[in-house]
Amino acid sequence: MKDRRMLAIMALTFAAYVAISIMRVVTSYRAVEIGLSAVGVGVVGVSYSILPMLFAVSIGRIVDRGNGFRVLLLAAVITAVACPGLAYAHSLPVLILFSALLGIADFQFGVGLQVLCMENREASGAARAISNLMLMIGLGQSVGPAIVGWVGGAAIVPPIQPLFLLAFLIALPMIPAVALLGRNHGSAKPRTSFRHVPIKDILKLPGFYAVLAVSTASSTAQDMIVIYLPLIGAERGFAVSDVGLMMTIRAIAALAARFLFPWLMLGRERQMMIVWLFVAAVSTAVLALPLPLAALHVAVGVSGFAVGLLVITGIARSLIIPKVEARGSASAFRISVMRMGQLVTVLIGSSVFPIIGAAGVFVVLASILGIVGVAIFQSGGEKAGS
């Protein structure tokens, strides 16, 4: 019964992130289609990432009370509603509104799915469940843009409404599917003996600060590498196909890290976090060097694997360290800190890029990863949560 429930959760995860990925990509094209400037497109993107943080802790508390499936049901409804809202938005405020709603749905899916897949599992089973969940998220995030590219073909702007319709047709069946899954789930009823765990108590847990640092540094590095690889390619005169190959290598390496996570990290998280932080720092710094394309392919693969492994480690540790009644809050707080760190880094990167170029941005990312590694190494086993 548990295995069938996990298969259903994995299928739901894949469908949700295919739909969300399609909508995120096409929303940018919709913004361009209605004549928004680059600043307007950026504001829409920020609304997706930042506004959900206002509800982060509340969402975590709701999940902690045993309402995981209700949160997923609301996320499915919001996703379906956001599809026509984004498809027919004709102004910046409307795009911001529905982009923010989609961001909230993404946040709800993330926290709800992570906590539900951890229920009643020992550490080894939890690691495998998180690994499978992140694989499905990664596959969904890969398939969504691929669909947009396939449908759009050689066009400069893909067909907006048909793609949003496709996302809607994926999102709509999720509503009855989640309702049915929640009805058949034994712990779907809210907990009557819920004990509120303050965020300050979660922060006192051994190793949780290390989790926040690793999660923020690795997630930021992952996003910034995706943003600045095309720019470093343009600076060095690489063909678009060469840059595309580097992006593909990075994505495949990240998926491999998610698959191998249970064997590489379980039981020795602190030691392996330090090792992979330094591997990520060195390989990311190598991307800044004027090396042959083949060498950059190797570097981006190593970097993608190391950073991907650190991302999933941060997620898993934020769920394993707290007690059951605080997992939702801990996960939501981790995501909030991570998104804030990403926003600050992107803003800093954008401001210093004209001065230091894409190579300089990679050096900064490598420095951040290295500093986090040194900090965890010097903090000792107890504080790092080994």
Instruction: For residue 79, give both structure tokens.
Output: 């996703």
Q: Residue 187 above 50 pLDDT? A: no
Q: Which amino acid is at 132?
A: N
Domain 2-183: give its CATH code. 1.20.1250.20
Contacts of 228 (CB under 8 A, 6+ apart): 349, 353, 358, 361, 362
Return the axis-axis angle of helices 2-33 and 160-171, rounded to nearest 10°: 160
Tell me the per-residue pLDDT of 115-169, one tens digit each, with 9 for 90 and over.
Answer: 887 775 555 577 788 888 888 988 888 888 888 878 877 777 788 889 999 999 9
On whether the CB atoms of residues 235 and 287 are closer than 8 A, the answer is no
| DSSP state letter for 54 | G
> What is the arithmetic mean of pLDDT over 184-194?
54
pLDDT of residue 282 exceeding 90, the answer is: yes
**pTM of the predicted model, to two decimals?**
0.77
Domain ranges, ordered by start, for the chain? 2-183, 199-384
Six token digits for residue 177: 């599917």
Q: Which CATH superfamily is domain 199-384 in?
A: MFS general substrate transporter like domains (1.20.1250.20)
Same topology between domain 2-183 and domain 199-384: yes
- For the ranges 180-189, 207-216, 227-236, 272-281, the lowest mean pLDDT is seen at 180-189
Instruction: Return the DSSP state at 325.
Output: G
